[in-house]
Amino acid sequence: MLTRNNLLAGTAAVVVLSLFGPAGAQAPIKIGELNSYKVFPAFLEPYKKGIELAVEEVNAAGGALGRKIEIVSRDDNGNPGDAVRVAEELLSREQVSFLIGTFPSHVGLAVADFAKQRKVLFIAAEPLTDKLVWDAGNAYTFRLRTSTYMQTAMLIPDAAKLKKKRWAIVYPNYEYGQSATAAFKKLLKEKQPDVEFVVEQAPPLGKIDAGAVAQALADAKPDAIFSSLFGADLAKFVREGQTRGLFKGVEVFNLLAGEPEYLDPLKEEAPEGWYVTGYPWSEIKTPEHTKFLSAYQAKFKDYPRLGSVVGYATVMSAVEVIKKAGSLDQDKLIAAMSGLKLMTPFGMVEYRAIDHQSTMGAYVGRIAVKDGKGYMKDWRFVDGKDALPSDAEVLKMRPKT
């Protein structure tokens, strides 16, 4: 028989379930993500797949704070102004808890400044400029990926060992390329004071006149070349350089060129012998990477690119900080990000309290060609914490926030 006491007990049970029930019993936690999907599809299509895999795994395991997570994504068109507008829309209209994402460095810097003004957490996934965590660092911005300084520092031992005196430099003329070039010059000069930088070419991003650039470098007769070109610019440069014999007898170092996103499209034209940072996905046998690789291939019937790892690890960072904070309060999230540790496909990483840079590492090796396809040989993994300047140097560069 239904009595008043039974009815009250039932009502109380419903209330308890609504408060503490399984993930999905409450509205999901919305996280705002913005990126340059139309401008950089080679990296960001795999990146989005990495996000999808992470969300699926997190929600299957119960979500965060007893709630599922939902990533609300927007395209920022690779434009700082559009990115700020989109970020505001995510916060105001979509009511997201905080922000993640961005790819090009100038866009990342714009969103970092926006996050500072709005006092909201921003986990920068991909922008590599050193300014993001040093010169223009702020209390609300944290960066996942291995920065330009860090990746350059990983290449410097090989560059210095060769003792090449005359260097040519080519880079995309925006924040990332400028930052990479500055780091390379500084670090190589420290190891090899007599080094000379005999020519520089800085074509606009996505608009390289590769023939003219390659010829300008060839005319300078360098002993070695440092490049931070990537994507279509890199492919055009490789082809024009090979046509003109630019790379014959010349050592070449190139950030990012070992990433499958940029290496695979070159096929048999992949430049053998180049020193690169990248992602030899098929040869990494660590337990954490094997688990990620198996799950990714099962879901997408495809192999991961570096973007896949970045997307996956960015979402996992967002989830871990929510769990650690035990709240969506901004002050608690910011406090929890400082020193946050989590396992990624590249191993354990920590978001350093001193500068908000994660210690994610990178793979360094050389390009070779087999069966009509480029791959990384003689590779090694460098832990990010071993490729950073001293704390004293960081404190000089980073403003007090």
Could you write out the DSSP letters of every residue in 315-330?
A: HHHHHHHHHHHTS--H
Question: How do residues 362-399 score in pLDDT, each as one tens digit?
Answer: 999 999 999 999 999 999 999 999 999 999 999 999 98
Class of domain 149-283+363-391: alpha beta
Question: How do residues 194-230 score in pLDDT, each as one tens digit?
Answer: 999 999 999 999 999 999 999 999 999 999 999 999 9
Question: How do residues 317-369 score in pLDDT, each as one tens digit?
Answer: 999 999 999 999 999 999 999 999 999 999 999 999 999 999 999 999 999 99
Question: How do residues 100-135 score in pLDDT, each as one tens digit?
Answer: 999 999 999 999 999 999 999 999 999 999 999 999
Across residues 309-315, what is the average pLDDT? 98
Query: How far is it, in rounded angstroms, from Cα 366 to Cα 259?
Result: 11
pLDDT > 80? residue 294: yes
Query: How far is it, in rounded angstroms, from Cα 180 to Cα 173?
Result: 11
**CB neighbours (10 Å) of residue 139?**
15
Across residues 136-160, what is the average pLDDT? 98
**Strand extents, DSSP E, 309-401:** 341-344, 347-350, 362-370, 373-382
Q: What is the pLDDT confidence band of residue 290, given thresholds at 50, 70 and 90? A: very high
Domain boundaries, the chain: 29-147+284-361, 149-283+363-391
State the fold for domain 29-147+284-361: Rossmann fold (3.40.50)
CATH topology identical between 29-147+284-361 and 149-283+363-391 = yes
User: What pLDDT, on the 0 to 100 scale, is given for residue 2?
Assistant: 45
User: What pLDDT, on the 0 to 100 scale, is given for residue 17?
Assistant: 39
User: What pLDDT, on the 0 to 100 scale, is given for residue 371?
Assistant: 94
In 326-369, alpha helices (H): 330-337
Query: How far is it, in rounded angstroms, from Cα 252 to Cα 306?
Result: 22
User: What pLDDT, on the 0 to 100 scale, is given for residue 399?
Assistant: 84
